[in-house]
Each structure stands twice: as C-alpha cells, then as structure tokens.
Structure 1
C-alpha cells in the first residue's frame, strides 16, 4: 500500500506556535512545504495531501488539542483506509536529549498526553512514532512552562537541522520501511 498517514502532534492557537510541545506540527509543516502541499481545515484537523515518488501522504495537524489527539488520528486513519503500520506520529519527547530523535514501531506513551489519548483510542501502543528530543533543561516544577516554551536562540539552528532531517525520515519510512528507518534515525546526533 502506498498511502501513509503522518500525524504531527501539537496544540492549535498562536500562543503555541513553534513551542517545544508543537514540534510535531513544525515537522509536518516542513514536510508539506517541501512537497508543495496545501492545508485545508477539515474534520478534526488541518489536512494536506502530498504526493511523493508514487506515494500519497495524508498529513494532519489535529485541531482537537494535544490531549484529544486520538480522535483525529482514528478518524483520518479510518476515513483514508490506512493501515496502522503506515501511520507515523511525530511528537516531542522530554526524555530524549535535544540532539536526538528516535523512531519506534511501538512503545508506551511515556507520560505524553497526546500519545496516551491515541493509545486509549486505538486500544494499542503498536503504532510507529518519531520522537523529537526536546531535552529536559528546566528547574524542578517548571516542566509545563518548559514544554510550552519557545526554543532558545542558540538551539534554533540545530532544531532547523533536525526538522529538515525529520522530513527525510518520513520519506525513508515510506520507502525503506520502519526497521531500516530506525537504523538510520536512532544513531543520529545533531550539533548546535
């Protein structure tokens, strides 16, 4: 099957634009832009259809807010008749250093509300994820402010590089499969 669902997790609203928690939106935006796609506001999400090398990517940014991401995920997966293994969810990850990304074919929500809702909605944690390390450089008790905060100026060049690389990871996922993509992505290390 040559159809894929790419889900970027984030929150709608100007105050969330380009925050650490919205990196899923930023990666999907970069992929859509790279392939001259256009979003339209549709049911539960902003949706762009992208064609690349004979493959179709349905790219969504849920409008349900992070904690209800599963609703949009399931709706578009069912509507477009896309197999769960042909979905890729892009999400911020506090447990990963800022210079890393991780691709996994399954795995727990690791305390992430967006992933938790998807897992509850789908009834499984066996769906591919691209975890974008945001690090955990915050004082005790300041996790929410950190996650909903913007990247530091000195981090931005590396974040731009990581976002570009993530668009290639999406392409790899669709062309060489999850296992080979994991071998490439999970050894990468980015520098500032």
Structure 2
C-alpha cells in the first residue's frame, strides 16, 4: 500500500455550528464516511475514519478544533500517518462560488477563509488540494461572519446530502 490520502472536512467543533454554511466540509465528510462505526482513531485532535479505494488508503478526518486553529489538528494526523503534502485534500466552504458548485484547486491563498489561513500558518505551505464547495455570498458587506455561521436551510441541506456529496466523491476519485 503506497498511496494514502488524508481527506479533511473543515468545520467548527461545537454542535451549535454543525449545520452552518461554514461546516459544509465536515458535513460532506460525514456523508462520505458511510460507516460511522468504523472509527480508526479518536483523540483530542479529531476522529479518523479509514476506507480503501482499490490500493489506496483514504483517511477521513473530522477535526476537533475551531476553524481558526484547525491546522493544528490536521498537522497532528498529517505527521502521525506520514502523509505527503500532495495527498492532503481539504474540503471547505467558499463564499465566492455559487451554492452547490464545486471547484478544485491545487494551490492558492486562503481567500479569507479562517480554516485555510490556519492550515497555511501551521504548514507554512499552500500547495495542498482544496475541494471548495460554494455557499454563495448572499450578504451585505461586513456581514460575512454572520452569513457563514447561519444554518443551512432544509432545501440546501437536501441538495447537499443528495447531490453535492456525490460530486465531491467523484472529485476525490479523480484526484486519487
């Protein structure tokens, strides 16, 4: 087994944030895991679930940190499982993309996203894979924080669970 990927769903740790736009990465990874009883490792840094895709080991991480310090959780598991930076896949929300649209980037800046800022600060690199899920930008200037921390409405949540997660899964398969 030479290939292994760390796939991280960005989101805040507190249950009050569970169904917010900012936790869309975590919601997607929760859906991708399939078997919630198959915990590979659980500690203060987060929970790892393991799956295989042919000869590739997929380690799905649900970090147990807030967004602005999430890089610490990722780095812990990154080192523990000896992951190559090219095999780090971050799934996160993006306000600059229309809701439900997906964009894959290999390199780039944080775009103001606190989770991506934390990762870049912790790793001192920005050449990891990002799967960005659009949450739109239906807010007035200055209300970005309030917008990303609002709950996702039921119609968008259904779309997320019935269609978007499949699109993300296909992107992951294309990457690996």
Query: TM over 0.5: same fold?
Result: yes
Alignment match, 2:10 = 9
Contact 1:30 1:167 in 2 (8 A): no
Q: Quick check: which one's strand share is greater?
A: 2
Alignment match, 1:144 = 145
After TM superposition, the score normalised by the length of structure 2 is 0.90
Which structure 1 segments of 5+ residues have no match? 175-192
Alignment match, 1:57 = 58
Contact 1:71 1:121 in 2 (8 A): yes
Q: d(CA) in 2 for partners of 1:47 and 1:35?
A: 10
Q: 1:41 to 1:5 in 2, by over 3 A?
A: same
Which structure 2 segments of 5+ residues have no match? none
Q: Deviations over 1:33-68 (max 9, x none)?
A: 179743652241111111221211111111121111
Alignment match, 2:167 = 165
Q: d(CA) in 2 for partners of 1:116 and 1:144?
A: 15
Quote the offset at 1:89 in angstroms: 0.4
Q: Deviations over 1:6-33 (max 9, x none)?
A: 0111011221112110011111111111
Q: d(CA) in 2 for partners of 1:83 and 1:40?
A: 19
After TM superposition, the score normalised by the length of structure 1 is 0.83
Q: Which moved more, 1:64-73 or 1:149-158?
A: 149-158
Contact 2:39 2:47 in 1 (8 A): no
Alignment match, 2:46 = 45
User: In the TM superposition, what are the counterparts of 1:87-106 in structure 2 within 5 Å?
Assistant: 87-106=88-107
Alignment match, 1:183 = none
Q: d(CA) in 2 for partners of 1:31 and 1:38?
A: 13
Contact 1:35 1:51 in 2 (8 A): no
